[in-house]
Structures are given as structure tokens and as C-alpha cells.
Structure 1
Amino acid sequence: MAVTRKRLALLVLCGSAVLVLYATTNDELMREMPIFQPLDMDVQCYKEPSAKGAFDNFDFRAEQARLSSGKNIFFHETSCFGRETNHQLEFNCRQACAVESAARANPGMSVNLLFLSPSAPSNRTRKLLDLLLRYDNVRVKRILVDDYIKESPLERWYEDGVLGTSRWPRSHMSDILRYLTLWRFGGVYLDLDVVIIKSRGCMARTPIENTQGKAKDMTVRRCNGFEVFPPPAFYPIFYKEWQRYFTEEKANETMHLIKQARAIHVWNKLSTSEVVHMGSRVPYALVAEKHCPRAYYGCGATF
């Protein structure tokens, strides 16, 4: 029996909640997952009212009509911004590159950048986001978590305060929100450390591995329009080799691998301190210059 998109999303959504519960109590698992970092406890801002100058709220009920086609791409920024940023929302050039590349590669899709912070953006961030908003298919809003999670399968889970028992509440909220958003609207979730190289309709970025040979049988014809790509389509460079994006050594080989991919993931948790100078010939700079030119050229001497 065919599984509808809504039912499939519900299964994934509930499965993600189970993963949160399991991971919360499993230190060994969490240490093995590079996406999780210490000091991931600041989520109080999720409940705070929006500051003056903050982004308009993302009213999921009012957005149903606009997003009903399912041709949507979503990015979530779940950080809270404290004293180190004067409580101003900060959004960097590489994050902007991810959004711009998605908008350019998918002009027929709605690209939604959703913040959880109530803070108003800094002047630098505002200018950067203004560059993104020049694309007709880009929207920037703020999610009010308490409201957004209502009328969903996770409403009771959230009200019971399970998230507050997590050692990594911000990372876990990020996981929950991505699945909840797709359950509500359909479409694609992307991280803010990817660059879209090319696209063909909707795409899922989670790699399909360990499928015992079955993934090759998941063709467009057999899966009602869905196509499963191998991991290199979205991860041409393994995370342990992330430095290849930031060095000219083996650059030709790296660019060849990138050319065959649909997107690249630059592993921001590992590469965030790597400086890319304007005009650099490292692979990441070459990709950014081509696929997110407004972000790349709008960031001054370094990207």
C-alpha cells in the first residue's frame, strides 16, 4: 500500500523525537556525532517576544496557501544571540551563500530562511540579508516555537518539557524543527553550510547508505517521481577531508569531484575558522564565486 507524503513525514517526525530521547541519555553516541558541540544550552530566547526591528513572525497557518505546492526549501537558524553580539542577530557570508545558491539553482521553489532568535539583525547582517531578498523566491521570518509546534504530533511532547532534559537542546530543537517543517509543508530542508551546485526539482540531502543494495532500485519510475542519489551527490568530500575545500593542493581533483555533485557540504563545525580571501583559488572560493556571487562579493576582503 502506498504511503502518503504526510504519513511518511509523520513517521520521520516521530522517529526523530525518539532519537532525541535516546541521544539525550547516550553520551557515547553524542561524542561520535560531529554536529554536536558543548555549550549548546542557550535556548531561552525561543520564548522571548521579538525585539524592535526583528523579522516578522512566520505564521504557519497563513503560510499554508503559499507553500501548499510543496516546492519549498527551508533553512533554520536556531542560535540565540547574547552579550557577545550585543544581543544582535548575526548571519555570516557563508550562511548567506547557502541560501543564495539554493535560490539561484531553484528559481521555481520558495526558499525560506527561518530564525528562532527574537533579536534584531546587526547592520552588517541586515545588508547581507537584503542581498538575498533581491531574489523573488526568498523569504526571511522568525519562528515562534511555542506557537509553531501547536496542532502537530509533537505538541504534547513539547508541553511535557522533554526538550529541557536534553544536554544539547538547541541541536535537538534543530532536528525537530526540520522534520516538523517538512511535515507541515513538504519540500526540502538544507543546512546553512551547503552550497547547491545544481538541482532538478526537489532534492533530499540526507545520504542513503547501508541499504543492502536496495537504493539502486529506487528509481523515479518505481518511486512515484522520487529519485535516490548516492552519498557523493551531496557529500563529494568526506568530512574528515574537509580541508580540501580550503587549500589549492589537489584543487583540480577536488573541483572534478565537485563538478559531479549536486551540492557540497563544507562542514562548518570543522571549517568555521578557515579564512578565505577574496580572489582565492581554493575550491570553496571558486564554488562560492559562481553559485552565490552576491554573498561572495558582498563580504569584503574575506569570505
Structure 2
Amino acid sequence: MKVSRTLAVVGSLVFILSIILTYNWMTNRRPFSAIAKKHINTKIQTKKAHPLPKKHILSKAKKLKKSVKHPKLKKRSKPVAHQPKLKPKKQNRVPAIPLLDIFKAKNQPRRGQTIFFHETTNFQKDEKVRLIQLTAREACAIESAALHNPRLTVFVLFAGATHRKSSNDSLVKALSKYKNIRLRHLNVWSYAAGTPIEKWLKNGKLFKSKFLFPHVSDLLRYVTLYKYGGLYLDLDVVVQRSLEKMPPNFTGAESNKNLACGVMKMSSTGLGHKIATLCLLDLQANYDANKWGSNGPGVITRVAKSLCNTDSIQAMINNPKRCKGFKVYDAKAFYSIPWLQWKDFFQPIRLNVTMKRISNSSVVHFWNKFSRGWKLKTKDICVYTKLAKTHCPKSFAAAGTFF
């Protein structure tokens, strides 16, 4: 009986102890579950807080793919509702005729029997399609040369223009009435090929010029005289009489200090060709991109001083034999009115005095560098309009109100 009671007490204690242990085990498990749950929640929140979650990136990529046209697709996107669809403006194209290239044209310059003009306005390093833009005064210079020299061919070489209008160009129509006028295009690089200045031209120094158009003109006049010989004239002149019987090699003095290069003639062989060669060599040796006159009148002045073995312009004029057959005319021949007095050509009050001063000039130079801004009306009474009516009547009539 005692043993049974003892076993009962021990069993009760074991039972109570098992209850206590079970309770403690259950109590200690709750903190671990809570910590684990908190850790999982924190990880999820951190993932949601990422600025570019994977799901978001994929959705953005799909939208972007829809908005960008695939290069192979030709579907047009629909116009936005609030933006009206604009029709492209029609460009008014001017009917134009290409100018013949100087080398490709059938009629070539006759050596020593040609008058040359150069037009370099709008010249660029890279050739583009451009229409010729002759002014009334330039047309007058060309016409006066053709009018008084019917046995010579007048070539007008354009370095900046490639085409001319096929209609509605009254000045070109006026010039086309003369059978001895040719309008041609030239490419500066191919034109200078085979001359002493070809290599120099390729180095790009010419395009550093502050006076590009005048300096291109300076270059081309000496290249032309080297290639063909003949007579070169500036586009700001009026020819008053025939130049056909003038010496084969000549230029004119502008003053007692300098020769000018607005009117020059050189033979295609012999002395003339030698002088043209010396001019090209001098131009590249003394080229100055910052000075307007250094590469034009400066060239012929330096070459003549060397050829004539004197620095005196007056000595060149007075003693032709000194220059070995190269004639140097005094200022009255082509430059009777010096550049400081250029306004005398346009002022009515100076009409009679100026007409008397230029009466013996074969060619009259109008100093376009200074006079081009003068707004002259065709009805104005002055030296220029008086000369134009006589020596370039067709261009004068085609000019309209202003000249």
C-alpha cells in the first residue's frame, strides 16, 4: 500500500513537471517566430523601396519599345489631336541653265585674241549650285569690250556661279545679242592645274584671306594670262575704243608709286608668258592674306621693278626699252581719275571736268571697291550714265531704274 502511494506521488510530480516544461518550451518559441516574421517583413519593404524594381523596368521597356519606330516598319504615326497636320511648303525653283565649263566647251579662248573678265562673287571652297548675279555695271563693262572689239572674243569666267536663269534675266539677254561674248564656269583647282601655282593653291593659304573674293580674282587673272595670254579687264571699267592694236605686253600705272592690274595684256608665249610665270611665283612667295592690294597690284609692281631693273615707275614709262618690250602706260591711259576722286564719276557738278580728263583714256576704271555703294539712277546726269548710254547701250536699257 505504501509502495503504491509512493508511485502515485512520483507519477503526479512527473506529470506536473512535464506540464511546466511544456509550458516553458512554448513560451520560449514565440520570440523566435516574431523575430523571423520581422526580418521577412523588413526584406520585403526594402525590396519595394528600390527606385527601379525589375517589374517596373520591364513595363517601361515595353512602353518605350512601342513608342520607337522600328527602322524596317513604314507605318506613319498618327498626328497628335491638338496639332494640325501641316502641308510642306512648295519651293519655287527658278529654271536655270548650267554654264559651260571653260575646258569642256566647244569654243575655246584663242591665244592672244581674247578679252577676259573674272567674276568671283560667292566663291566657296566647296562648289555648290549658284546662279550668276551680274550687276548692271558689270554687264556694261562686258558689253563695252565686245562692242569696241568685234574681232576679239570676250570670255566671262565665273568662279562662284554654276548656272544662269533660263528666262527673266534682262542683263544676260542684253549680252546674248553680241556674238563674241561667252559666259563660262571654271573650277579653280582644275583651272590652275599645270601652272606654277598649282601646288601652293592646295595648301589652303588662299582661304585664310580677309578679302577672299578679290584675292581669288587676283590669282585667276595671272593664271589666265599664263594659260592663254590675251587681255585681262576688271569688271568695273568702261571701254571707250578698240584695244585690238595695242602692244602684246602692257600694263598701266596707277600713280608714281604703283602699277595697277585692272587692265593688262600678255602674250601666250615669249616675254608675256615669262612675265605671267614671274607673277604667279611672286604671288605665292609674297602672299598676304591680310592686305587687299598686296596680291594684285603689288604682284605686277614687284615683277615690273625686277624686270625693268628700277624702282621708278616714271622711268618705266619714259623708257620703254628699259623693260625689254613690256609697255607701261601712264595713269591717263586707264586710271585718269585716282581712287581718292572716285565720286567725280557720279556727281553732276563734276561732269564736264571729268569728261575732259578721261577723253584720251582707252579704258575708264571706276574703283568699284569704293563706288559700288553709290545708288545711281539711270536718269541721273553724270559721267557714268553718259558713258554707259554710249558704250553699253543694251545693258543701260536693260538696267531699269538703277544702274
TM-score by length of 1: 0.72
Residue 174 (structure 2) pairs with residue 131 (structure 1)? yes
Any conservation in 2 of the 1:92–1:125 contact (CA below 8 Å)? Answer: no
Residue 349 (structure 2) pairs with residue 249 (structure 1)? yes
The equivalent position to 2:315 in structure 1, one of 207, 213, 221, is 213
Mark the CA change 1:172 to 1:287 in structure 2 (over 3 Å): closer, same or farther.
same
Give me the whole-angstrom Cα distance separating, in 1, the residues matched to 2:177 and 2:116.
17
Residue 384 (structure 2) pairs with residue 277 (structure 1)? no
Q: Please say which of residues 167-176 and 96-105 is displaced more in the overlay.
A: 167-176
The equivalent position to 1:58 in structure 2, one of 102, 111, 116, is 102
Mark the CA change 1:123 to 1:272 in structure 2 (over 3 Å): closer, same or farther.
farther
Any conservation in 2 of the 1:89–1:125 contact (CA below 8 Å)? Answer: no
Any conservation in 2 of the 1:54–1:118 contact (CA below 8 Å)? Answer: no
Structure 1 letter corresponding to 2:390:
K
Shift of 1:198: 1.7
Mark the CA change 1:53 to 1:81 in structure 2 (over 3 Å): closer, same or farther.
farther
Shift of 1:214: 3.5
Shift of 1:114: 0.6
Q: Please say which of residues 282-291 and 226-235 is displaced more in the overlay.
A: 226-235
Give the match for residue 35 of structure 1.
none
Give me the whole-angstrom Cα distance separating, in 2, the residues matched to 1:207 and 1:124.
41
Give the match for residue 71 of structure 1.
113
Structure 2 letter corresponding to 1:207:
A
Shift of 1:67: 1.3
Q: Please say which of residues 149-158 and 210-219 is displaced more in the overlay.
A: 210-219
Structure 2 letter corresponding to 1:104:
L
For structure 2, list consecutive stretches of 5 or more residues without a partner in the other structure: 1-94, 257-311
Give me the whole-angstrom Cα distance separating, in 1, the residues matched to 2:198 and 2:392.
37
- Which deviations, in whole Å up to 9, do the C-alpha atoms of 1:220-259 show, x marking residues without a partner? xx965x6432112111111111111111113111111121
Give me the whole-angstrom Cα distance separating, in 2, the residues matched to 1:187 and 1:75.
11
Mark the CA change 1:263 to 1:81 in structure 2 (over 3 Å): closer, same or farther.
same
Give me the whole-angstrom Cα distance separating, in 1, the residues matched to 2:106 and 2:199.
23
Give me the whole-angstrom Cα distance separating, in 2, the residues matched to 1:180 and 1:125.
33
Give the match for residue 4 of structure 1.
none
More helix by share: 2
The equivalent position to 2:190 in structure 1, one of 143, 147, 154, is 147
Identical aligned pairs, as a percentage?
Answer: 32
Residue 215 (structure 2) pairs with residue 113 (structure 1)? no
The equivalent position to 1:232 in structure 2, one of 332, 343, 348, is 332
Give me the whole-angstrom Cα distance separating, in 1, the residues matched to 2:227 and 2:181.
19
Structure 1 letter corresponding to 2:385:
A
Give the match for residue 98 of structure 1.
141
Structure 2 letter corresponding to 1:216:
N
For structure 1, list consecutive stretches of 5 or more residues without a partner in the other structure: 1-50
The equivalent position to 2:388 in structure 1, one of 275, 288, 301, is 288
Give me the whole-angstrom Cα distance separating, in 1, the residues matched to 2:183 and 2:154.
9
Give the match's secondary structure for 2:183: strand
Residue 217 (structure 2) pairs with residue 174 (structure 1)? yes
Shift of 1:196: 0.8
Give me the whole-angstrom Cα distance separating, in 1, the residues matched to 2:355 and 2:333.
13
Any conservation in 2 of the 1:99–1:192 contact (CA below 8 Å)? Answer: yes
Give the match's secondary structure for 1:249: helix
Give me the whole-angstrom Cα distance separating, in 2, the residues matched to 1:89 and 1:61.
18
Residue 359 (structure 2) pairs with residue 259 (structure 1)? yes
- Which deviations, in whole Å up to 9, do the C-alpha atoms of 1:99-133 show, x marking residues without a partner? 01111121111111010124433578833122112
Of the two structures, which has the highest relative contact order with CA contacts closer than 8 Å and spacing of 6 or more?
1
Shift of 1:264: 1.1
Q: How many residues align?
A: 245
